[in-house]
C-alpha cells in the first residue's frame, strides 16, 4: 500500500533535525528518511507521515531553483541556502567592514542568479568614512543599496518591499545585526528565537539558518554570522566570477577567454587604471580568481 506524500519547505535544518512548513502554514518536525538528505534551509522536500512512530519523514529534496554554495573547511562544496531569489548582504559601521567577505557573497549571488542587495545596518550610529566608501563602490558597480537601522526602525519599509514576494536571506559578518533586523520585520521571530539560539559568552548567537514569514508576503532567512565566506569556485561564473562590473567590461577585452589578470588588451585592467572601476573591487576579483585557479590546479594533481 502506498502512503500519501506531501511537499513542505525546510525552514530550519540542524543535523538530522528538520523543521518544515506545509502549504497550509503548519510547522512540523521531520527527519531525513535513511541517509542524510543534505537538505538546507529553503529547500522543498517530499515528506511522508510515519504513523507508527508519529514522525514525519523527509524522503527527498526537490529540484532547487537556485542555491548559494560555499566551500567548507575541507574544501568540499556544500549548499548553504536554497531557492533564494534575493540576497541581502549586511554590513555595518561596527564590527569593522571586511569588504572581501561582502564582495564574495555578492559574487556568489550573481553567479547563482540571485538578486543581491548590499544593506548597511546601524545607520543611526552615523555612516563613517569606510561605510560611505563601501556604499559608493557598490552603487557605482550598479547595486541598489539600502541604509537601515534595526535599532530605530529606519528603512524598514524599504527592506520589507525589497523582500515582498521574494525568498530573501540576510548574510554577513557576525554582529552586523541580521537577527535584529529579522526581529524588527517578522512578527513570529521573537517567539521562535529561544529554541534555536544559544547563549554564548552572554550573547545571543544564531547557530542555524531559519526562515520566517513576513507581513508583506515575502520570506526572510536569518543566517549564522560568519568570519569569512568562501564561495564554491566551481559555481562561480567562469568569465567574470560574479563581479558585475567585470561582466559589463569583459566584452571589450581583446581575448574572448580573458581572465582579466595579465592579458594584453584587457578592458577590465584599463577601467581600473583609468579609475572607472574601483581598485579595491578589482583586488577582490584577483583574490577570487587566484583562489579558483589554485583549487583547479590542486584538483588536477589529485
Ligand X SMILES: Nc1nc2c(ncn2[C@@H]2O[C@H](COP(=O)(O)OP(=O)(O)O)[C@@H](O)[C@H]2O)c(=O)[nH]1
The CA radius of gyration of the chain, in Å to the nearest whole number, is 21
Shortest Å, Cβ 246 to ligand X: 29
State yes or no: residue 223 binds Mg ion (CB under 5 A). no
- Give the interface segment with ligand X, choosing from 53-61, 98-106, 107-115, 147-155 (CB under 6 A): 147-155
Instruction: Give, in order, the Cα–Cα distances in Å from 28 to each of 25, 195, 219.
Output: 10, 15, 18
State yes or no: residue 117 binds Zn ion (CB under 5 A). no
User: 111 near 66, Cβ under 8 Å?
Assistant: no
State yes or no: residue 82 binds Zn ion (CB under 5 A). no
> CB neighbours (10 Å) of residue 227?
9
Supply the angle between the helices 279-301 and 267-274 in degrees, to the nearest 10.
150
Contact of residue 175 among Mg ion, Zn ion, ligand X, none (CB under 5-8 Å per partner type) = ligand X
Which residues make Cβ contacts (< 8 Å) with residue 197, sequence separation at least 6?
179, 204, 205, 206, 207
CA torsion through residues 246, 251, 254, 258, sign: positive
Contacts to Mg ion from residues 175-204, by CB under 5 A = 178-179
Closer residue to ligand X in complex, CB, 156/247: 156
State yes or no: residue 61 binds ligand X (CB under 6 A). no
State yes or no: residue 284 binds ligand X (CB under 6 A). no
DSSP 172-202: -BTTSSHHHHHHHH-TTHHHHHHHHEEEETT
Contact of residue 166 among ligand X, Mg ion, Zn ion, none (CB under 5-8 Å per partner type) = none
State yes or no: residue 147 binds ligand X (CB under 6 A). no
Enumerate the H helices of the chain as residue ranges: 99-112, 129-141, 156-163, 178-185, 189-196, 244-249, 267-274, 279-301
Q: How far apart are CA 171 and CA 289, in angstroms?
A: 22
x-or-dash string of contact with Zn ion, 223-262, rule CB under 5 A: ------------------------------x----x-x--
CA geometry: angle 289, 140, 227, nearest 5 deg? 50
Q: What grid cell was written down for 168? A: 530573501
Q: Which of 174, 207, 276, 296 binds ligand X (CB under 6 A)?
A: 174
Contacts to ligand X from residues 107-136, by CB under 6 A = 121-122, 124-125
x-or-dash string of contact with ligand X, 64-103, rule CB under 6 A: ----------------------------------------
Q: Which of 71, 134, 166, 206 binds Mg ion (CB under 5 A)?
A: 206
State yes or no: residue 266 binds Zn ion (CB under 5 A). yes
Task: Using CB under 6 A, list all residues that contact ligand X.
Answer: 121-122, 124-125, 149-151, 174-180, 204, 206, 225
Q: Which residues contact Mg ion by CB under 5 A?
A: 178-179, 206
Amino acid at each position: 500500500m502506498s502512503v500519501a506524500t506531501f511537499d513542505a519547505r525546510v525552514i530550519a535544518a540542524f543535523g538530522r533535525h528538520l523543521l518544515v512548513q506545509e502549504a497550509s502554514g503548519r510547522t512540523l518536525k521531520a527527519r531525513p528518511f535513511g541517509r542524510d538528505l543534505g537538505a538546507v534551509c529553503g529547500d522543498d522536500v517530499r515528506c511522508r507521515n510515519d504513523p507508527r512512530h508519529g514522525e514525519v519523514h523527509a524522503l527527498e529534496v526537490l529540484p532547487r531553483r537556485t542555491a548559494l554554495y560555499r566551500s567548507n573547511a575541507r574544501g568540499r562544496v556544500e549548499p548553504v541556502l536554497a531557492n533564494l531569489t534575493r540576497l541581502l548582504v549586511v554590513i555595518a559601521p561596527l564590527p569593522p567592514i571586511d569588504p572581501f567577505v561582502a564582495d564574495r557573497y555578492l559574487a556568489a549571488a550573481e553567479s547563482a542568479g540571485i538578486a543581491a542587495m548590499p544593506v548597511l545596518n546601524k545607520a543611526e550610529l552615523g555612516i563613517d568614512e569606510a561605510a560611505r566608501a563601501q556604499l559608493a563602490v557598490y552603487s557605482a558597480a550598479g547595486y541598489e543599496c539600502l541604509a537601515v537601522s534595526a535599532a530605530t526602525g529606519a528603512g524598514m519599509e524599504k527592506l520589507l518591499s525589497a523582500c515582498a514576494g521574494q525568498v530573501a536571506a540576510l548574510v554577513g559578518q557576525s554582529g552586523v545585526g541580521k537577527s535584529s533586523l529579522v526581529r524588527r520585520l517578522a512578527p513570529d521571530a521573537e517567539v521562535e528565537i529561544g529554541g534555536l539560539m544559544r547563549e554564548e559568552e552572554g550573547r545571543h548567537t544564531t547557530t542555524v539558518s531559519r526562515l520566517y514569514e513576513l507581513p508583506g508576503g515575502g520570506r526572510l532567512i536569518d543566517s549564522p554570522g560568519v568570519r569569512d565566506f568562501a564561495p564554491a569556485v566551481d559555481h562561480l561564473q567562469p568569465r567574470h566570477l560574479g563581479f558585475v562590473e567585470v561582466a559589463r567590461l569583459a566584452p571589450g577585452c581583446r581575448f574572448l577567454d580573458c581572465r582579466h589578470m595579465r592579458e594584453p588588451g584587457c578592458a577590465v585592467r584599463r577601467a581600473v587604471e583609468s579609475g572607472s572601476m574601483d581598485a579595491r573591487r578589482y583586488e577582490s576579483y584577483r583574490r577570487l580568481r587566484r583562489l579558483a585557479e589554485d583549487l583547479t590546479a590542486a584538483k588536477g594533481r589529485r
